[in-house]
Amino acid sequence: MMRRLPLILFIAALAVGPQLLPEFTVTLLNYIGLYAVVALGLVLLTGVGGLTSFGQAAFVGLGAYTTAWLTTVHGVSPWLTLFIGLALTAAVALTLGFITLRMGGHYLPLGTIAWGISLYFLFGNVEFLGGHTGITGIPTISLLGWELKSGREFYYLIWLTVLLAMLALHNLLDSRQGRAIRALKGGVIMAEAMGVNTARAKIVIFLIAALLASISGWLYAHLQRFVNPTPFGINQGIEYLFMAVMGGIGHVWGAVLGAGLVTVLKQWLQDWLPTLLGQSGNFEIIVFGMIMILVLQRARDGLWPMLARWAPATTGPRRVPQADALPRRPAQTAGTLLLDAHDVTKRFGGLVANNKLSLTVQAGEVMALIGPNGAGKSTMFNCISAVDPATEGEIAFLSASTADAASRDLAGRGMSRTFQHVRLLGQMTVLENVAIGAHLRGNKGVVSAALRLDRAEEVRLLAEAARQIERVGLAEHMFDAAGSLALGQQRIVEIARALASDPALMLLDEPAAGLRYREKQALADLLRKLRDEGMGILLVEHDMDFVMGLADRIVVMEFGEKIAEGKPEEVQSNPRVLEAYLGGVE
Amino acid sequence: MDLQILLLLGQDGVTNGAIYALLALALVLVFAVTRVIFIPQGEFVAYGALTLASLQAGKLPGTVWLLLALGTTVAVIDGWRLLRDGQYGKLPPLLIFNVGLPLLAAGALTVVTPANWPLSLQVLLTMLLVIPMGPMIYRLAYQPLANASVLILLIVSVAVHVTMIGLGLLFFGAEGVRTPAFTEFSFELAGAPLQGQTILVVVASALLIIGLYFFFERTLYGKALRATAMNRTGARLMGIPPTLAGKLCLTLAAAIGVFSGILIAPITTIYYDSGFLIGLKGFVGAIIGGLASYPVAALGAILVGLLEAYSSFWASAYKEVIVFTLIIPVLLWRSLTTRHVEEEE
């Protein structure tokens, strides 16, 4: 209860606000609410997803102009135009997103700058939209027979929207889809290997941000009851981003704080600066620009974290999620051919990293791939898991070619992996990181997540993740931030994440590096147990004691080529292997 | 439309396109070396044009004060650091370049009025006043964030852009300027008058591009920048400081911006905020080149100029709409032809 107190106070203050405050303050609060809705979209897009848009004002405009034109000229009901506006916005956002998001992250902002400018000039020049004068006489909105005529009444609709949007966003981020979205910033390769369609996740968050902007525009049009192009230009688009960054771009509350700060500060600066400078003009942007630069240099997380420190602590003892096990894929009988890589060649320009390499892995065996540093082992892993596909050669997984498969398709077919350079999301807990591995074992989407209709599935996914964490022996770290663990433990978290996908074949890239003797023994025991359950394991490792004691078969590589293959004892006595490892006698 | 109008519009298009090409080159350069998407490029165009116009009108250009303010801030921040580290020997050059010279310029300009000076001296003075802001802005805005993601750097760029727009309004006011043509010379080509100014712009742009080519191919600093663009860590290990590369890059970008501003000022009326749209048109060109290829970026920019000229004839109200919507098919084409596998750290 204590930790909900600030929230309850905030909502109570919001509720009584319009009864006590003067007209001017209510108007200001209305604008803060409208801006906060847009800034919330940017928190999701930029703060969480690592993408950005300067064209949000244009989406606001799209929502506002759609309702303005349809309600005034065609007499359509405002409640219908809301959805028409959203549909139009979705069409534009999907088009822009589809075009720009396949390329580097910076093409989206550039694309949105261009689109923002072009739409602004379009609004200003199209005759039926009233040109630069705009459209007047937009009707009011009636809510269950209550006509929202004054700003004081409209206030409730605006802030209800803000709170609902915040709740939906908060729910979304704490879900299966939310974890996938949070992986977009710095974890794309990992997320793809765990089965997340990251391209789709990017388009989804851009779409959500655009739709929120469009809703804000619809509210704006019916509050103001006239529209003209000015508030939908590129400068306003930039200001929305400033709000989100100043408030705290990674925090849902940052959007509200930022919208409030910028709006109040702007009001204040617009009063004082012209007097101070003896000229009139938009001089507040000088101050905003400089504040932005300072915030990005000194406090990239914005102001919200500083404020949140005063709130009562939210972390109590957390409960390990409990639920029935998820359905598993049918186990393979020992000896079934899982992976058949034949004559795999990988070139980087002129460099041949793998040359006609062949290997197989069967169910219920540990196959080790060893060789000196730079032999091409990790490259081979990337070819097999389709993270970086082979140049030539045939790879079949469970008797089906992987030639056209992306790494997320292979994850769906039962292949999972760890990475040599650990790819965890350091800010997220170990539990959440491992749950990303179980991504494909759930199917609830963004809408279910926002409406909390995904709880039954969510708890099963988390319980599965918890089981895997316990299995690898990290139960006491379940709720720690993954980045706070020692490197060796982080590698074990990667194994738990791979296990959470219920794989038939697991690719482990140097899992024992950085582990102490006892931890290595525990890991070897775990891998033996998995093998006995029928899993196939392909292992890259430098620790020879570990490999020789565990592996059923070994392939030795040097300079991208296979130099030996066989049982551990055969390989150990092979003269070429001895030469590669110990150097030949000249 | 007859041939004469076609040629006239083509002339306009090529002239503007040549300027956009210069800006596109600067944008590609800055992005390749520093990963900064240099949105404020356009502000240097406006500052250049407005400073020249102020000098010609016999007014003290506001850029003097801005230069002094930026220089003093740099001197205070870096001076404090030098004092703390006991590196007193580096203090005099720091103070001379960042405070001394701007002060000298401010002092001199209150005494003499360069309104009657020859054009070449006015141009030179304009460049001396505006170009040093490039490295100063790098020092103040970008250098502390040199290792940040492209996204953060882009947001900083936008912040620098709005700050410079606001300062532009403060220092130059809201009125637009148009400087007198550099040359009145003109002749007829296939029935259409060909302006000397047009030839001047195209020739000057071409010369500058050739100059840049030699700078990058033949000089040590040019090679250092190319090395940084190809491999930042590698260049650093070879002793090229990223800070030097960044400052050098922004000096070049500022120089190209100012030069473009001086070239365009007699053709178009320039307001304090005109630079943004001009810079963005350079961007459209740069994006056609994928922010990577110099020749394609330059050709793309000329295409933008031509498109702008012809659309201003057929649908002048929709000129900007057409130019900025062009980016959509361009992006579509690029997105379908490139396969992007990259992860931001």
The pLDDT tens digits of the residues spanning A406-420 come to 888 999 899 999 998
Partners of A395 in beta bridges: A341
Instruction: Give the separation between CA B122 and CA B127, rounded to whole angstroms.
Output: 9
Which of B151, B174, B340 comes nearest A103 by C-beta?
Answer: B340
pLDDT at A584 over 60: no
pLDDT at B340 over 60: no
Instruction: Give the separation between CA A562 and CA A574, rounded to whole angstroms.
Output: 13
Partners of A346 in beta bridges: A354
In chain A, what percentage of residues exceed pLDDT 90? Answer: 35
pLDDT at A40 over 60: yes
pLDDT, averaged across chain B: 84
Mean pLDDT of A385-401: 88
pLDDT, averaged across chain A: 88
Residue A544: how many other CB atoms lie within 10 Å = 13
Contact B155 A51 (CB under 8 A): no
Distance from CA of B299 to the nearest CA of A (A): 19
Chain B CB contacts of A297 under 8 Å are 144-145
Contact B327 A110 (CB under 8 A): yes
Contact B344 A105 (CB under 8 A): yes
Choose from B165, B312, B321, B322 for mutation: most chain A CBs within 10 A.
B321
Partners of A561 in beta bridges: A558
On whether any CB of chain B is under 8 Å from the CB of A459, the answer is no
Distance from CA of B86 to the nearest CA of A (A): 25
Contact A122 B321 (CB under 8 A): yes
Residue with the bigger pLDDT between B339 and B273: it is B273
Number of Cα atoms under 13 Å in the Cβ half of residue B195: 19
Strands (E), A422-560: 505-509, 536-540, 553-558
Distance from CA of B321 to the nearest CA of A (A): 4
Candidate from A78-87, A464-473, B335-344 with smallest mean pLDDT? B335-344
Contact A111 B340 (CB under 8 A): no
Taking one residue from A and the other from B, the number of pairs with CB-CB distance under 8 angstroms is 143
| B39: Cα separation from own chain's centroid | 10
Closest-CA residue of chain B to A244: B155
Contact A279 B161 (CB under 8 A): no
Single-letter amino acid code for the residue at A464: E
The alpha helices in A174-251, defined as continuous H runs, are 176-182, 188-193, 198-224, 234-248
Strands (E), A211-315: 226-227
Single-letter amino acid code for the residue at B122: Q
On whether any CB of chain B is under 8 Å from the CB of A186, the answer is yes
SS3 content of chain A, % helix, strand, coil (to 5): 60, 15, 30
Contact A114 B321 (CB under 8 A): no
Contact A281 B149 (CB under 8 A): no
DSSP B140: I
Can you give the pLDDT at residue A585? Answer: 54
Contact B342, A104 (CB under 8 A): yes
Instruction: Give the separation between CA B276 and CA B273, rounded to whole angstroms.
Output: 6
Can you give the pLDDT at residue B345? Answer: 38
Instruction: Give the separation between CA A462 and CA A272, rounded to whole angstroms.
Output: 54
Contact A346, A332 (CB under 8 A): no
Rounded to 5°, the CA angle A232-A234-A239 comes to 90
Tokens of residue A388, six digits = 């970086």
pLDDT at A18 over 60: yes
Partners of A566 in beta bridges: A554
Residue A563: strand, helix, or coil: strand
Rounded to 5°, the CA angle B200-B202-B206 comes to 115
Can you give the pLDDT at residue A41? Answer: 95
Instruction: Give the separation between CA B142 and CA B150, rounded to whole angstroms.
Output: 11
Chain B CB contacts of A125 under 8 Å are 317-318, 321
Tokens of residue B2, six digits = 């007859």
Closest-CA residue of chain A to B286: A110
Which of B141, B320, B340 comes nearest A121 by C-beta?
Answer: B320
Contact A186 B160 (CB under 8 A): no
First to last CA, chain A: 77
Residue with the bigger pLDDT between A219 and B5: it is A219
pLDDT at B257 over 70: yes
Mean pLDDT of B282-311: 82
CA neighbor of A450 nearest in space, from A180, A168, A251: A168
How deeply is A511 buried, as exposed, middle or buried, from its count of CB atoms within 10 A (0-12, 13-18, 19+)? buried
Strands (E), A366-444: 366-370, 392-397, 400-401, 415-417
Can you give the pLDDT at residue A105? Answer: 61
Tell me which residue has tokens 């400052």.
B247
Contact A114 B149 (CB under 8 A): no
Tens of pLDDT along A437-489?
999 998 888 998 999 998 889 899 999 999 999 988 888 999 999 999 888 88
Instruction: Give the separation between CA A213 and CA A37, rounded to whole angstroms.
Output: 7
Tens of pLDDT along B16-53?
899 998 898 888 888 888 888 899 999 999 999 999 99
Choose from A293, A387, A404 for mutation: most chain B CBs within 10 A.
A293
Candidate from A69-83, A265-279, B44-58 with smallest mean pLDDT? A265-279
3-state secondary structure A543-561: CHHHHHHHCCEEEEEECCE
Tokens of residue A158, six digits = 């605006």
| DSSP string over B188-248 | EETTEEEEHHHHHHHHHHHHHHHHHHHHHHHSHHHHHHHHHHH-HHHHHHTT--HHHHHHH
Chain A CB contacts of B328 under 8 Å are 95-96, 99, 111, 114-115
How deeply is B295 buried, as exposed, middle or buried, from its count of CB atoms within 10 A (0-12, 13-18, 19+)? exposed
In chain B, what percentage of residues exceed pLDDT 70? Answer: 95
Can you give the pLDDT at residue B291? Answer: 67
Instruction: Give the separation between CA A499 and CA A474, rounded to whole angstroms.
Output: 14
Contact B332 A99 (CB under 8 A): yes
CA neighbor of A258 nearest in space, from A249, A267, A271, A268: A249
Instruction: Give the separation between CA A159 and CA A26, rounded to whole angstroms.
Output: 11
pLDDT at B190 over 70: no
Contact A293, B159 (CB under 8 A): yes
Choose from A99, A126, A348 for mutation: most chain B CBs within 10 A.
A99
Distance from CA of B260 to the nearest CA of A (A): 22
Can you give the pLDDT at residue B344? Answer: 44
Q: What is the pTM of this model?
A: 0.89
How deeply is A373 buried, as exposed, middle or buried, from its count of CB atoms within 10 A (0-12, 13-18, 19+)? exposed
Ramachandran class of A414: left when φ > 0, alpha when ψ lies in -120 to 50, beta otherwise? left
Closest-CA residue of chain A to B316: A125
Chain A CB contacts of B321 under 8 Å are 118, 121-122, 125
In chain A, what percentage of residues exceed pLDDT 70? Answer: 97
Tens of pLDDT along A87-138?
999 999 998 888 877 766 677 788 888 888 888 888 888 888 888 888 888 8
Angstrom distances, CA of residue A387 to CA of A56, A195, A582: 34, 12, 32
Chain B CB contacts of A122 under 8 Å are 318, 321
Which of B174, B280, B332 comes nearest A281 by C-beta?
Answer: B174
Distance from CA of A283 to the nearest CA of B (A): 5
On whether any CB of chain B is under 8 Å from the CB of A300, the answer is yes
Contact A50 B149 (CB under 8 A): yes
Can you give the pLDDT at residue A335? Answer: 83
pLDDT at B256 over 90: yes
Residue A425: how many other CB atoms lie within 10 Å = 20
Distance from CA of A126 to the nearest CA of B (A): 9
Show which of residues 92-131 on chain A sit within 8 Å of chain B, judged by CB atoms: 95-96, 99-100, 102-107, 109-111, 113-115, 117-118, 121-122, 125
Chain B CB contacts of A284 under 8 Å are 166
Tens of pLDDT along A180-234?
999 988 888 899 999 999 889 999 999 999 999 999 999 999 998 889 888 898 8
ipTM confidence score: 0.88
Instruction: Give the separation between CA B213 and CA A66, rounded to whole angstroms.
Output: 50
